[in-house]
A and B are shown apart, each in its own frame.
Chain A
């Protein structure tokens, strides 16, 4: 039991070797660039952005905490180069969302071993919905009240559009990408034995 607990803890944290550090860094840079240029504006500071697709990719490669860091850190960096001001409430909301999306191995999807089937896809969709609703429907508005109390009406409108556009991108583009990644890894490892 304790061994299993340790495994879950390790799974949530991910292994913090140099490759993870660099992977998260590049992921965050990619997130920041795409947030600035790879999107279609829907509402103030909210767009149908392809940046959101970086999160499931990093989740598949490195795990939940790296995915969360990519989203949070990437958002801060995007704010730094974007010029629309810093919105730490949204960065933290993104962090929470990234963590939920990163929970892939929790329900048995192992991208590095090529395991990503229909039931994992359903799990992924549930995680995407949960992550967006908890991240932008709960965490961000609460923090908005704490940090910038006057902005709540805007935040609700933004949260609604952001949720909708993120879910569209993460589900419609995310599932095929994760599936392809798993398929690519599966080819490497599934050696068939000769009869």
Chain B
């Protein structure tokens, strides 16, 4: 997939419902959903979260072709990861879901059980939901709204600035990366994984890396000077131009994320104090 198209961020906010929320609301909502998804392995929570993420992504009217391509790529990658997990632990369902109902047997070691498939389904949907929520978040937020939102959850503003600058420059750096790669190929460098050895490929990656690092760190001086000239880092606190006052929609979403945090705390307390015998819940066990 083309790198330029794969990484895309907004500098100017759009005009859909999610776009118009304040940075604080966006960041808090995102944190609540993502931490909830990290904390849980329960299909009963993952499926609604997946539904929410799909609704969210559709509501911001993204570029359809681009999103479908991305989702296809990530689906394949996650399926491949699951395959590798299966190679390492063919009967992972036994420890994690708590039973093994044999469906298919390749050899003594390589078996397919219903529980393993259920665990893989949970795992897959969990990561797809996380990915779709991240994609929606990236699409709906601008770098300075992100800084404002992070500052609102008591993260030191220098760290908030760091995250927003990094976020702002990811597309730029990946564009440089693909430019350098193309110009290296134009000079006759073989990048096809089928035609080169592992060591050769590592060497080529380093060859791409040297100009990329020089170009990237050359920017540091310029950006830092521009920020210093505007008086960055003088005050102990900071306000953000992009942060607007709470709108009625922000207030509605505040109720949503507060409820999500309550659910999150319930999930975490449940996992710490009342751990089930097995990690993943399955309807038939």
Chain A residues within CB distance 8 Å of chain B: 16-19, 21-26, 28-30, 32-34, 36-40, 43-45, 48, 50, 53-54, 57, 61, 69, 73-74, 77, 79-81, 83-86, 88, 147-150, 153-154, 157, 169, 173
B174 contact set on A, CB distance < 8 A: 33, 36-37
Show 18 residue pairs from A and B whose CB-CB distance is below 8 angstroms, ordered by the A residue.
A18-B227, A21-B227, A23-B220, A24-B166, A26-B165, A26-B166, A26-B216, A29-B172, A30-B173, A30-B213, A33-B174, A34-B177, A50-B205, A83-B78, A83-B127, A86-B34, A150-B95, A150-B280
Q: How far is the CA of A150 from the CA of B119 in the complex (A)?
A: 11
Q: Which of A28, A81, A84, A153 neighbours the largest number of chain B CB atoms within 10 Å of its CB?
A: A81
Contact of A32 among B92, B134, B170, B228 (CB under 8 A): B170
- Given A19-B220, A25-B169, A81-B7, is A157 in contact with B213 using a C-beta cutoff of 8 Å? no
Residue of B nearest to A152 (CB): B95
Which residues of the other chain, B, contact A33 by a CB distance below 8 angstroms?
7, 170, 173-174, 177
Partner-A contacts on B (CB < 8 A): 3, 6-7, 34, 37-39, 41, 70, 73-74, 77-78, 81, 84-85, 88-89, 92, 95-96, 126-127, 130-131, 134-135, 137-138, 158-159, 161-167, 169-170, 172-174, 177, 193, 198, 201-202, 205-206, 208-209, 212-213, 216-217, 219-221, 223-224, 227-228, 232-233, 279-280
CA distance in complex: A35, B210 (Å): 16
* Shortest Cβ-Cβ A-B pairs, 8 listed: A25-B165, A83-B74, A85-B127, A150-B279, A83-B131, A44-B84, A29-B166, A28-B166
- Distance (whole angstroms) from the CB of A172 to the closest CB of chain B: 8
Minimum CB–CB distance from A36 to chain B (whole Å) comes to: 8
A191 to B41 CA separation, bound complex (whole angstroms): 62
Contacts A25-B161, A40-B201; A84 near B88 (Cβ below 8 A) = no
CB of A57 within 8 A of CB of B213, answer: yes
A133 to B52, alpha carbons, bound, how many Å? 39
Say yes or no: B224 contacts A22, CB within 8 Å.
yes
Determine the residue in chain B with the shortest Cβ distance to A169. B202
Known contacts A21-B158, A81-B138; A38/B208 CB under 8 A: yes
Say whether A22 contacts B170, CB under 8 Å.
no
Judge whether A73 and B162 touch: CB under 8 Å: yes
Contact of A22 with B177 in the complex, beta carbons under 8 Å: no
Neighbour of B165 across the interface among A17, A22, A36, CB < 8 A: A22
Grouping DSSP codes into helix (H, G, I), strand (E, B) and loop, the B interface class, with mixed when no group exceeds half, is helix
Chain A nearest CB from B274 CB (Å) reads: 14
Count, A-B residue pairs, CB within 8 A: 166
With A54-B213, A154-B89: A77-B130 Cβ-Cβ less than 8 Å: no
Q: Would B84 and A43 count as touching, CB distance under 8 A?
A: yes
The answer to whether B209 and A44 touch across the interface, beta carbons within 8 angstroms, is: no
Q: Compute how far the CA of A112 lies from the CA of B212 in the bound complex, rounded to whole angstroms.
A: 21
Min CB distance B208 to A, Å, is 7
CB-defined contacts of A154 to chain B, threshold 8 Å: 85, 88-89
Q: Counting chain A CB atoms within 10 Å of each CB, which of B73, B217, B220, B228 scores highest? A: B220
Chain A residue numbers with a CB within 8 Å of B228 are 18
Interface centre among A25, A61, A157 (most CB of B within 10 A): A25
Collect the chain B residues with CB atoms within 8 Å of residue A83's CB. 70, 73-74, 77-78, 127, 131, 134-135
- Whether B127 pairs with A81 at a CB distance below 8 angstroms is no
B152 to chain A, nearest CB (A): 18
Look across to chain B and name the residue whose beta carbon is closest to the beta carbon of A85.
B127
Residues of B within 8 A of A86 (CB): 34, 37-38, 130
Q: How far is the CA of A36 from the CA of B74 in the complex (A)?
A: 12
